[in-house]
Amino acid sequence: MLSRRDLLVIPLAFATLGIGAVRAGQSGTDAKSFIENLGAEAVEALTGPDLPQDERERRFSAMLNRYFDLPGIGKFVLGRYWRSASEAERQDFLRLFEDFIVKSYAARFAEYSGEQFRVLGVRNEGDYATVQSLVIRPGAEDVRVDWRLRDADGLKIIDIMVEGVSMVITQRADFASVIQSRGGVAGLLDMLRQKTSS
């Protein structure tokens, strides 16, 4: 069963490499190839233990901006506090939030050990699409990962759901708690500065 999946996944993922920029969503196949491109590019550009960490982070950051609606995610994550934040705080936050994601996640690609993902299906709802996928890990259980995309001047990822858990909702809960305990958005910015400078 596993070997059949591998056979299916590998050519699928790599066949889509080099197709280039995905045009604004015309149908579900675009969302599907968008995610497949992302997977192939991530494996190609980010993995490997020999890649220097700063180069890995630079590439990760470039992909993050190309595939994800970072300003949109940032606003969602700051939630109700976005409104009350000053313009300077908003800009600070978006910049620090990106750094925080890069610092938190880029290093994980160094430990890549052959995970592949297989797209199971696509669901379209107006400007939104959900690409359902299964991450197949050697020697561990498969993980269900759903990618939420929005089409506004081109497809961008707005959320990743891992086994039903939304990463943006989780991040929002984390930041909301920090804002409450540290007396406002400025407190969160301080924490983010600390986390990203180390």
Partner 1 sequence: MSLRRSFDIACVCLAAMLAAGCATKPVDPELQAAYEEANDPLEPMNRYFFEVNYALDELLLKPAAGWYYTALPNPVQDGIRNFLRNLRSPVILANDLFQGEMDRAGDTIGRFAINSTIGLLGLFDVAAELGMPFHDEDFGQTLAVASVGEGPYLVIPLLGPSNPRDLTGRIVDFLIDPLDYLVQDDAFSYGRGATEGIDTRARNLKTLDEIRASSIDYYATMRSLYRQRRNAEIRNGQSDSDAFPGVTFEEDFDFEAN
Binding to partner 1 by residue 5, rule CB under 8 A? no
Between residue 117 and residue 176, which ones bind partner 1 under the rule CB under 8 A?
A: 123, 125-126, 128, 130, 132, 139-141, 144, 146, 148, 150, 158-159, 161, 163-166, 169-170, 172-176
* CB-based contact 39:117 (threshold 8 Å): yes
Distance, CA of 198 to CA of 195 (rounded, Å): 6
* CB-based contact 107:56 (threshold 8 Å): yes
Candidates 44, 51, 82, 160; binder of partner 1 (CB under 8 A) is: 82
Which one-letter amino acid corresponds to residue 59?
R
Binding to partner 1 by residue 95, rule CB under 8 A? no
Binding to partner 1 by residue 104, rule CB under 8 A? yes
Minimum distance, C-beta of residue 8 to partner 1, in the bound complex (Å) = 19
Length of the chain: 198
Minimum distance, C-beta of residue 34 to partner 1, in the bound complex (Å) = 18
Minimum distance, C-beta of residue 64 to partner 1, in the bound complex (Å) = 14
Q: Which tokens hold the place of 164? A: 């039903």
Burial class of residue 22 (count of CB atoms within 10 Å of its CB; 0-12, 13-18, 19+): buried
